[in-house]
Amino acid sequence: MNIYYKTQQDIDGIKASADILGRVHGEITKMVKPGVATQDIDKMAEEFIKDHKAQPSFLNYNEFPASLCISVNSMVVHGVPSKYELKEGDIVSIDCGVFFNGYHSDSAYTHPVGEIDPKTMKLLKATKESLYEGIAAMKMGGRLGDVGFAIQKHVEAQGFSVVRELVGHGVGKDLHEDPVVQNYGKRGDGKKLLNGLVIAIEPMINMGKKDVVKSEDKHGIRAADGKPSAHFEHTVGILNGKVEILTTFKYIEAVRNL
């Protein structure tokens, strides 16, 4: 495992990318409503990113055909945008990456579409909370296992399950860098958390069992039992011994009035 530790200049570059990413997430949020086709959300996001002199990180990455991963209901991640129109009661995870001036940033948010089932809302709340529990466990000199442990403990206490096959990752000049960031684990295990580490922490949490299967399109990964799945993600760094969230949900939450 060859971890690339970031300088202040690197982190400033990731923040500039993350600012565009935060803004595009805000524009996306305005479109999340019944009757909107997921491919139309993708098209808007691609245009927005390119209008800001940046590139979508995901487009053509490992042959992925779109700028956004849009995963509806039981789709955990890597859903391909399509003619599917969002319906009242759906949930939709939208994962986006932006490449700007040599640096990537990566974040995801799961939206309710209109009114959703209370248990599904509980899943969204628990998954988002678990992201911040993981970030709170990220301390200079700690271990990656502390992050995974905090996420797992929070969601399993509420009856939900952590997907094992899908993980977070380092991020910076490459979209996916070392280290692997699991959403489960033991305190004190794993790589040491050192100055300059930048990682994408992204809990992927199923309402039912943890098992997943690949979709026929070879990209999407869905919950094997067909129950809803939620996904939230921030890019987070350690600099000068302090942990900082480099991406932002503020533009999303301004639209959602949270």
Determine the average pLDDT of the residues in 67-85.
98
Residues above pLDDT 70, as percent of the chain = 100
d(CA 207, CA 222): 12
Q: 62 Cβ partners below 8 Å, 6+ apart? A: none
Could you say which architecture CATH assigns to the domain 8-256?
Answer: Alpha-Beta Complex (3.90)
Read off the pLDDT of each residue in 187-194 and give the average, rounded to a whole number: 95
Give yes or no for a contact between 158 and 205, defined as CB atoms under 8 angstroms apart: no
pLDDT digits 0-9 by tens, 93-103: 999 999 999 99
Q: What pLDDT sits at residue 258?
A: 64
pLDDT digits (tens, 9 = 90+) for 105-153: 999 999 999 999 999 999 999 999 999 999 999 999 999 999 999 999 9
- What does the mean pLDDT of the chain come to? 97
Residue 252 has pLDDT above 70, yes or no: yes
Give the model's pLDDT for residue 2.
Answer: 87
Specify the amino acid at residue 191: K
Please tell me the pTM assigned to this model: 0.97
